[in-house]
Amino acid sequence: MIEVKQLTKEFRIAGDKNLTVLKDINLVIEQGDIFGIIGMSGAGKSTFIRCLNLLERPTGGSILIDGVDITMKKGRDLLALRKSIGMIFQNFNLLMQKNVSRNIAFGLEITKVADFVIPGIDKEDYKELGFFQKRKLKKKEIQRRVDELLRLVDLEDKKYEYPSKLSGGQRQRVAIARALATSPSILLCDEATSALDSRTTDSILKLLKKINEETGVTIVMITHEMNVVQKICNKVAVLDKSEIVASGYTEDVFGDTSSEIVAQLLGGGEV
């Protein structure tokens, strides 16, 4: 569970002034939610999602993940936190000189076994078996995990292909596999379908839903596309000028047309 309490973020701008981009944000995101954050351009969506994995440090308030405040984490704790939170982006951010397999393996090559749980083996069993020690993953273990992820995102036939030979949708599938490699409990999606056509968007959303159902991963996605939220998110928060102006179950939030911003979002179909 993610609990965001009185979160604020200010940026220092020219002339020694502060720009408040997030103001008193309070949100609860339950384990297994697909939670959408929607709002106009400049509302603060990217800043918010980047605060969740500390790519941006909040100026005030707290972010609790499973009861632990992450906002002060540094060094090794911060690295461990980042491994438990995967992220995908609008422009995929793949390593163009590495093939699909190497792209997915990248995070695993720099991960120690003890930093994450090998799928299928209970963490407690792992400890009891005495395997819970810091060591690099073996090539075979990495390959097994990469193959598993390739099956999950339905890209087994592209294992040795380079990103330049892939479509946008296929690139995003590679990015999803890479983000899930260390079995994170949270997946952040930053406008993950904005660069894709509507059919490809649908197939990526279907994949994210399948992954959410099969693994229970919590998905937090920011988007300016209404239809994305309506298709996949069970809950949504509307961010307007740095503040949350509505939040709750998607059908309730979008059903409340007394809210000007919601009406605006629904009217435009897109913001």
Ligand X SMILES: Nc1ncnc2c1ncn2[C@@H]1O[C@H](COP(=O)(O)OP(=O)(O)OP(=O)(O)O)[C@@H](O)[C@H]1O
Which one of 6, 18, 19, 133 is in contact with ligand X (CB under 6 A)?
A: 19
**Interacting stretch for ligand X, rule CB under 6 A, among 45-53, 88-96, 115-123, 245-253?**
45-53
- Give residues 59-118 in contact with ligand X (rule: CB under 6 A): none
**Contact between 43 and ligand X per CB under 6 A:** yes
End-to-end CA distance of the chain: 29
- At 101, list the tokens: 């397999």
* Longest pairwise C-alpha distance within the chain: 59
Asked if 42 is part of the footprint of ligand X (rule: CB under 6 A), the reply reads yes
Q: At what angle do helices 168-180 and 139-152 cross, to 10 degrees?
A: 130
φ/ψ of residue 257, rounded to 5? -85, 5
Q: Calculate Rg over the CA atoms of the chain.
A: 19
Evaluate whether 205 touches 199 at the Cβ level (below 8 Å).
no
Comparing CB distances to ligand X, the nearer of 20 and 185 is: 20
Q: Is 14 in the site for ligand X (CB under 6 A)?
A: no
**Cβ–Cβ under 8 Å, residues 191 and 222:** yes
Residue 58 touching ligand X (CB under 6 A)? no
Decide: 154 and 84 in contact? Cβ < 8 Å: no
Size of the site for ligand X (CB under 6 A): 13
Q: Does residue 21 belong to the site contacting ligand X (CB under 6 A)?
A: yes
Could you say which residues in the range 196-255 bind ligand X, by CB under 6 A?
224
Taking CB under 6 A as the criterion, the residue among 41, 164, 198, 258 binding ligand X is 41
For tokens 């707290």, the residue is 62
Instruction: Name which position in 44, 61, 86, 163 contacts ligand X (CB under 6 A).
Output: 44
Q: Is 64 helix (H, G, I), strand (E, B) or coil?
A: strand
* Dist CA 126 CA 133 (whole Å): 9
The least CB distance from residue 163 to ligand X, in Å, is: 24
Strands (E), 77-192: 85-89, 186-190
In the complex, minimum distance from the CB of residue 52 to ligand X, in angstroms, rounded to a whole number: 12
Give the nearest distance from C-beta 198 to ligand X in angstroms.
19
In this complex, which beta carbon is closest to ligand X, that of residue 48 or of residue 254? 48
Closest approach of ligand X to the CB of residue 4, in Å? 15
Q: How far out from the chain centre does Cα 121 lie?
A: 24
In the list 25, 27, 45, 92, the residue contacting ligand X (rule: CB under 6 A) is 45
**Minimum distance from residue 106 beta carbon to ligand X (Å):** 26
Q: Find out whether 188 and 88 touch, Cβ atoms under 8 Å.
A: yes
C-beta of residue 185 within 8 angstroms of C-beta of residue 31: yes
Given the rule CB under 6 A, which residues bind ligand X? 11, 13, 19, 21, 39, 41-47, 224
